[in-house]
Amino acid sequence: MLTEFQIGFIPKENMNEILPLVQMLNNYKIPVETLKRRLQDMLIDGYQCLGAYDKDELIGICGIWVLNKLYVGKHLEPDNVFVLPEYRSSGVGKLMLDRVLNYALEIGCNTSEINCYINNDKGIQFWDSQGYKAIGYHMQKVL
């Protein structure tokens, strides 16, 4: 039942608790020490994260960036969205997203935008089911 999950913002001082889930999200390709350093820089830049809990266990995360861009204005970008495999299709992702979108409205955002890997079919299906539309490409050049 959905009511058994608790959704809330993770305090900055507890933010390292997201790292095991971030490691899983990235298939353990990024060393935890690298993730810790990056997270500290991200927190300085305003990164926030919502956590989903089953009792005391962190079972899902949804990072949050609040950005302003010329073409869209103030918007919220969910980032590093991940739910433990055994909790997928239980409604946890939608619960987190609903909370994030309510927060976006509370702080005056016009839109929400996400980046989703091309080969992440289940992720694309989730975002599409939540009303997100593909409007472009996310491209990267390694320096």
Q: What is the pTM of this model?
A: 0.92
Q: Closest by alpha carbon to 23, among 36, 14, 10?
A: 36
In this prediction, residue 3 has a pLDDT band, given cuts at 50, 70 and 90, of low
101 is a domain residue: yes
CATH number, domain containing residue 38: 3.40.630.30
53 in a structural domain: yes
- Residue 108 falls inside a structural domain: yes
Range of the domain at 15: 2-129
Query: pLDDT tens digits, residue range 105-119?
Result: 999 999 999 999 889
Total structural domains in the chain?
A: 1
Amino acid 33: pLDDT: 97
Q: Is residue 137 part of a domain?
A: no
Q: Is 137's pLDDT higher than 90?
A: no
Q: Percentage of the chain surpassing pLDDT 90?
A: 88
Does 140 fall in a domain? Answer: no
Give domain status of residue 119, yes or no.
yes
Give the per-residue pLDDT at 1.
47
Start-end of H helices in the chain: 19-25, 32-44, 92-106, 121-129
**Rg of the chain (C-alpha set):** 15
Cβ-proximal residues to 121 (8 Å cutoff; 6+ apart), any chain: none
The conformation of residue 70, written as its DSSP 8-state character, comes to T
